[in-house]
Structure 1
């Protein structure tokens, strides 16, 4: 087909505009629509299926048997049409029958047609129908034809909605009674408790007109909206209250990069060229983005796409004149914000005196909004399903992200229990804060080193707030995760120097960049050979860094320069065999020699350590231990590798216990072997931040923990109430003849000996 996508779509839309303007019954309009599309695309079949009473009903067709209209019905997920609607995806097949979801309906007479292409008709982010074309000859439809179909489908959604041909949203029929209490679970993104009324971040913007009367007028409206949006972003960035040089500057810089992205504005212009209004063009590009997001397995790249979605929503509000977000209208009460997802700039618009918490349908730990919310001290619960079905505007909510739950329209008893827990939590935090200056020494006089895990500049304040002994794990990859491009060596050096200066005399252990797996970077092609089936066990961490040694060399120079005049502790992640540690250490030493030859000031000492996360490394500790200055056990990855259980899998996350004999015996062997070799061992991971599990680790002989800052107080309290020698004796007895788990005997022992377990 020689036409461009824009010209092809415009030709169809011009004719559709005439049809929609006529005073005809809706069925007659749909009959005309399939003729127009079929003729324009030179396609022998064009059919429209609409969602009614939960089924996709054939409503109009050119080319299939007319007696099948209003007779042929498909469930969501049934056949090619049902698959398109269920997955909100496009299909383009040269031989329809070869697709695994193909379902033949004899009443349609479609057996002689081979090629098939279909696109979803989308209304308010869900498929309400399908537009499909078919051809006798096997052929894939050209990209230009698919683009035209997708644009036409958007206009169709307006026509069928206005004619009341599709089901309502369905939310009303399944919503609980507004007075009934409800409870929902999610995923903790930012820890904390909050109470407030539900406020939806963004009222839906209804696009009244999709077909443009004058393309140039629509283009001018979009240009003006872009200018206004960029001004808003610039003002917001200049007013951000986080100080200079932090990760939030990098977050907003990435956000601004999207706002000025020429590719995005070009795609909107192309949609206007096809005959859409400014609003419809923005929504058309946004639909494409959403469809791409559904196809992306890379969690980090999906997070970055959410930033673009946030900007699209902002642009759409400006161009439509519907500017009333909850932030712009103002919060009148203590509020908990509800959203599918948020961009960082949108969160910054809210009054922090009134904003008490955030609940997201989506969200992840590495999303920009999570980083900003953590800095604001706002608890966030993510991945809460059916949020719009369960919650209505103005509902009272009790958010407890530490328990990964939200109570909706709570009863008086629920409110009383929540407030009691909140008071206890506040009192405990105050008590833990008083331990800031206390040293974590057991009751029998053994000093335990309690350090924090960090990765952001904001985390550094926790050193003084908690009285931690230092930073046992600084995750250098966080700087890479919040950047739009690979951080330059000088930016890395400044961050590392800031960290060392904030720590003062306290030690800092820098883990070299651990990317790949679930922390893939969109600007780094980490999987040249295709998608990894098991990314956590794939090309990541030290494996990636040794292959991409330019990345590691730049980081090595940045760390060495930042550590000038100090002791520098370097730790390599996911070491599987001793030769990998040797290669990494040699790379660092080569960079040290290179810098020294150029007169750069050097660290007084560089201490090299390894993370034990891969069980294979435990079998060659006799080879590794003489080479290293310290060993850190990463319990998060180690646990999933030992049990062959993905810690992110909902059915497996709670199945395998950290206090299982298999884990504890494994750790005991490692600790004993390292002690014999005179190599200090630390645990850095969630296990060390839980009082009962940390108690077990101390019972194995581990006396160095690196944990989340919020856990320092509870762990100090536990340590100061503990008789270490007595616990070590008890652990030896339990491990000799263990049951399924040591959780019960440890808990009973803690109660008997009055151990403080927060």
Structure 2
């Protein structure tokens, strides 16, 4: 194919397809003509169209394969290359088709003559209803412009086959059929803790694009520009009315969201799709489909979340341009509701009446999603990764949501409702009990005073010091400011955040962890330095990245030094593997302290330096490092996966390796002994310390300081106040010397026998 733009290639094909679609011939004749047009335009010997019929992909038309295979060759979803495209709803582009592991030979088609293969899904209402493929005798990958042209044509084909009644409506969500009334339990990922109940409300029906080929591109362009203006006005108004009561990082997220709304690059891509001959709706959908495909290829959750924001805006723009503005938020919630959505953008969540919105269930979503940060600020529980939510739950169904335990029940029986109500009542009583303990110190029954601190990452999180009575912030994650920004945050902006945190904390200590980015937390403005990593958790991240990109760390050090003017500044460096890394990081901070003093700025009263022990290798050189440290923090999340060589995000490994394994407890006990001998305070910050049984074990191996989530303070404090620390430590020494077959069971039985409160 000659070197032309994707816009020109698609336009040439669409001009010819317009006449085909307008003709009075039957659907089969039209599809036959389509394969000829595409094959000729792409100089490809083969062009074939497969349609999903009765749950099976049927070869419906072809140019280049044997005609006797039409309506005879049939493939299951996931069978062969074509079945894989339909099942995964993704594009394939292969120089040699037989090299792909999913290749299946269909001898009746005569396809053995052809080597190269490319295929794109024909998508309708977010599901593949067919596949468009091209093949070539020569071994070559199709050019990007050819693939984009195929994807654009596939949109038009979706309209053609829908109009001809050829789409299989018996498969997939929303296909109709008898309404299920049985109770059903759905599981997912806890995104925002909490419980709620209400009637299921669907956030929005998908806008089905009915007309794809434009009659007048200038008219379509004007419609898009007008929709952009209206969308931006809506977002500006929404942001000006958003009221969280206090400032916080959620405001920065919304600013990033607004930045996307005003992104000219996005509008340019839609414009180019209109130039190719698509209507305004089809152009938006075309760009949106490309975004979805990119989302499936992105491993970095933060970048994927940015793509979700763009998807949210695309949905908003599509509704405006099509005149279908009726989201559940705009229509208004009439009763207590549980919102069901594939995904949500932060601005869309803000449109809902939070008095009646009792919870959110997402088919997608991640812990780092922007909407999750906003939902947490609004106090709305969120359950994510509920794959079948929109298929299994019906509009108006009564739903019980327990995000904390990772499940929801639709159409519950009276017995299930009673259990839920009891659990909700019990949870509220426990909350009240923990709240009443706020001012009580974490002192054990034998008079041992422990230190309970909270982990934080947002300015709003600092308020937990008052609500929980925690002793301070043992880990303030500073990277969020970097992750939600479109560019490297200015020193002044960072300084403002750190000063706010210190001011809010008052006389309680705050330990700032220096920026931990890189790996799976890629910064978009550092993408030129990014390299593809097979295991990003053990890659170019944290202190490794910060020391190499020292401008980033110098700006942060300067901001922290000036923010802590006249106060004690505590900083710790993440992922230290060897003592020289700590030395370099400390020297960098000291230079910024000297620089601030030289400029007449009042420096901190003192700077206390710490390191995080997450890399097991550091335990072997503690004798070198400890004399230089003011404190050490053990990061159990990364440490556990490094010790076991087990990715904690891997679904098959997440529950396989127990935090209460003797290997972990022995390792931590050895580190604690080394710190005690050197007179260096040591603590734990991580999920392990936030679970009452695990926290008990950590205290048992000698730890006196835990930094945990705010929600865990109450249960862990209650456990400590029922515990005899001296007796526990004597028991732990015996258990670690001769570990039982199941350490978790042994510790649970000991706690039960000694009336230790384990939540």
Which interval holds the TM-score relative to the shorter structure? over 0.9
Closer, same or farther: CA 644–203 of 1 in aligned 2, 3 Å: same
Indicate the residue corresponding to 1:226 in structure 2.
228
Distance of 2:503 and 2:376 partners within structure 1 = 22
Indicate the residue corresponding to 2:733 in structure 1.
732
Indicate the residue corresponding to 1:167 in structure 2.
168
**Residue 23 of structure 1: CA displacement?**
2.6
Distance of 1:660 and 1:651 partners within structure 2 = 18
Is the Cα–Cα contact under 8 Å of residues 516 and 526 in structure 1 kept in the other structure? no
List aligned pairs for 1:645-684, cutoff 5 A. Answer: 645-684=646-685
Indicate the residue corresponding to 1:597 in structure 2.
598
Distance of 2:638 and 2:670 partners within structure 1 = 18
Indicate the residue corresponding to 1:352 in structure 2.
354
Is the Cα–Cα contact under 8 Å of residues 300 and 522 in structure 1 kept in the other structure? no
Indicate the residue corresponding to 1:621 in structure 2.
622
Distance of 1:244 and 1:39 partners within structure 2 = 62
List aligned pairs for 1:458-607, cutoff 5 A. Answer: 458-525=460-527, 528=530, 530-607=531-608
Distance of 1:717 and 1:243 partners within structure 2 = 31
**Residue 3 of structure 1: CA displacement?**
4.6
Indicate the residue corresponding to 2:413 in structure 1.
411
> Which secondary structure state, in structure 1, belongs to the residue aligned with residue 7 of structure 2?
helix
Indicate the residue corresponding to 1:444 in structure 2.
446
Closer, same or farther: CA 145–22 of 1 in aligned 2, 3 Å: same
Closer, same or farther: CA 112–420 of 1 in aligned 2, 3 Å: same
Distance of 1:372 and 1:459 partners within structure 2 = 13
List aligned pairs for 1:26-65, cutoff 5 A. Answer: 26-65=27-66
Is the Cα–Cα contact under 8 Å of residues 56 and 129 in structure 1 kept in the other structure? yes
Q: Which moved more, 1:418-427 or 1:683-692?
A: 683-692
Distance of 1:323 and 1:214 partners within structure 2 = 24
Indicate the residue corresponding to 1:260 in structure 2.
262
**Residue 174 of structure 1: CA displacement?**
10
Indicate the residue corresponding to 1:195 in structure 2.
197
Indicate the residue corresponding to 1:206 in structure 2.
208
Indicate the residue corresponding to 1:70 in structure 2.
71
Is the Cα–Cα contact under 8 Å of residues 457 and 478 in structure 2 kept in the other structure? yes
List aligned pairs for 1:261-300, cutoff 5 A. Answer: 261-300=263-302
Distance of 2:660 and 2:46 partners within structure 1 = 63
**Residue 294 of structure 1: CA displacement?**
1.1
> Which secondary structure state, in structure 2, belongs to the residue aligned with residue 437 of structure 1?
coil
Distance of 1:732 and 1:149 partners within structure 2 = 67
Distance of 1:42 and 1:610 partners within structure 2 = 61
Closer, same or farther: CA 540–645 of 1 in aligned 2, 3 Å: same
Is the Cα–Cα contact under 8 Å of residues 121 and 154 in structure 2 kept in the other structure? yes
Is the Cα–Cα contact under 8 Å of residues 740 and 746 in structure 2 kept in the other structure? no
Indicate the residue corresponding to 1:688 in structure 2.
689
CA deviations over 1:428-451 (Å, ceiling 9, x no partner) = 101111111111111211111111
Closer, same or farther: CA 370–622 of 1 in aligned 2, 3 Å: same
Indicate the residue corresponding to 2:8 in structure 1.
7
Is the Cα–Cα contact under 8 Å of residues 509 and 569 in structure 1 kept in the other structure? yes
CA deviations over 1:618-677 (Å, ceiling 9, x no partner) = 111111111100011111111111111111112221222222211111111111111111
Distance of 1:714 and 1:59 partners within structure 2 = 62
Distance of 1:354 and 1:542 partners within structure 2 = 45
> Which secondary structure state, in structure 1, belongs to the residue aligned with residue 339 of structure 2?
strand
List aligned pairs for 1:339-418, cutoff 5 A. Answer: 339-418=341-420
**Residue 577 of structure 1: CA displacement?**
1.2
Indicate the residue corresponding to 2:318 in structure 1.
316
CA deviations over 1:704-732 (Å, ceiling 9, x no partner) = 11110011111221212222112122222
Distance of 2:117 and 2:677 partners within structure 1 = 69
**Residue 175 of structure 1: CA displacement?**
8.3
Is the Cα–Cα contact under 8 Å of residues 661 and 740 in structure 1 kept in the other structure? no
Is the Cα–Cα contact under 8 Å of residues 246 and 460 in structure 2 kept in the other structure? no
Distance of 1:545 and 1:526 partners within structure 2 = 16
Distance of 1:556 and 1:122 partners within structure 2 = 50
Is the Cα–Cα contact under 8 Å of residues 364 and 386 in structure 2 kept in the other structure? yes
Q: Which moved more, 1:112-121 or 1:144-153?
A: 112-121
Closer, same or farther: CA 746–116 of 1 in aligned 2, 3 Å: closer
Indicate the residue corresponding to 1:420 in structure 2.
422
Q: 2:307 aligns with which of 305, 308, 332?
A: 305
Closer, same or farther: CA 174–230 of 1 in aligned 2, 3 Å: closer
Q: Which moved more, 1:262-271 or 1:716-725?
A: 716-725
CA deviations over 1:148-182 (Å, ceiling 9, x no partner) = 22111100001111222132133478989622111
Is the Cα–Cα contact under 8 Å of residues 77 and 84 in structure 2 kept in the other structure? yes
> Which secondary structure state, in structure 2, belongs to the residue aligned with residue 17 of structure 1?
helix
Q: Which moved more, 1:112-121 or 1:167-176?
A: 167-176
CA deviations over 1:588-621 (Å, ceiling 9, x no partner) = 1122122222221100000000111111111111
**Residue 243 of structure 1: CA displacement?**
4.8
Is the Cα–Cα contact under 8 Å of residues 220 and 279 in structure 2 kept in the other structure? yes
Distance of 2:199 and 2:601 partners within structure 1 = 57
Is the Cα–Cα contact under 8 Å of residues 123 and 130 in structure 2 kept in the other structure? yes
Indicate the residue corresponding to 1:151 in structure 2.
152
Aligned residues: 757
Is the Cα–Cα contact under 8 Å of residues 201 and 337 in structure 1 kept in the other structure? yes
Is the Cα–Cα contact under 8 Å of residues 572 and 610 in structure 2 kept in the other structure? yes
Q: Which moved more, 1:235-244 or 1:134-143?
A: 134-143
Indicate the residue corresponding to 1:103 in structure 2.
104
Distance of 1:603 and 1:164 partners within structure 2 = 73
Is the Cα–Cα contact under 8 Å of residues 576 and 614 in structure 1 kept in the other structure? yes
Is the Cα–Cα contact under 8 Å of residues 661 and 741 in structure 1 kept in the other structure? no
- Taking structure 2 as the reference length, the TM-score comes to 0.97
> Any stretches of 5+ residues in structure 1 without a counterpart?
none
Q: Which moved more, 1:462-471 or 1:586-595?
A: 586-595
Distance of 1:715 and 1:212 partners within structure 2 = 63
Is it true that 1:636 corresponds to 2:637 in the alignment? yes
Distance of 2:278 and 2:432 partners within structure 1 = 59
> Which secondary structure state, in structure 2, belongs to the residue aligned with residue 617 of structure 1?
helix
Indicate the residue corresponding to 1:184 in structure 2.
186
Distance of 1:422 and 1:103 partners within structure 2 = 53
List aligned pairs for 1:79-118, cutoff 5 A. Answer: 79-118=80-119
Indicate the residue corresponding to 2:131 in structure 1.
130
Distance of 1:244 and 1:673 partners within structure 2 = 43
Closer, same or farther: CA 276–429 of 1 in aligned 2, 3 Å: same
> Any stretches of 5+ residues in structure 2 without a counterpart?
none
Closer, same or farther: CA 339–267 of 1 in aligned 2, 3 Å: same
**Residue 317 of structure 1: CA displacement?**
0.2
- Taking structure 1 as the reference length, the TM-score comes to 0.97
Closer, same or farther: CA 24–689 of 1 in aligned 2, 3 Å: same
Distance of 1:225 and 1:631 partners within structure 2 = 55
> Which secondary structure state, in structure 2, belongs to the residue aligned with residue 513 of structure 1?
coil
Closer, same or farther: CA 653–100 of 1 in aligned 2, 3 Å: closer
Indicate the residue corresponding to 1:709 in structure 2.
710
Is the Cα–Cα contact under 8 Å of residues 526 and 539 in structure 1 kept in the other structure? no
> Which secondary structure state, in structure 2, belongs to the residue aligned with residue 523 of structure 1?
helix
> Which secondary structure state, in structure 1, belongs to the residue aligned with residue 683 of structure 2?
strand
**Residue 337 of structure 1: CA displacement?**
0.8
Q: Which moved more, 1:322-331 or 1:8-17?
A: 8-17
Distance of 2:647 and 2:157 partners within structure 1 = 43
Distance of 1:553 and 1:257 partners within structure 2 = 27
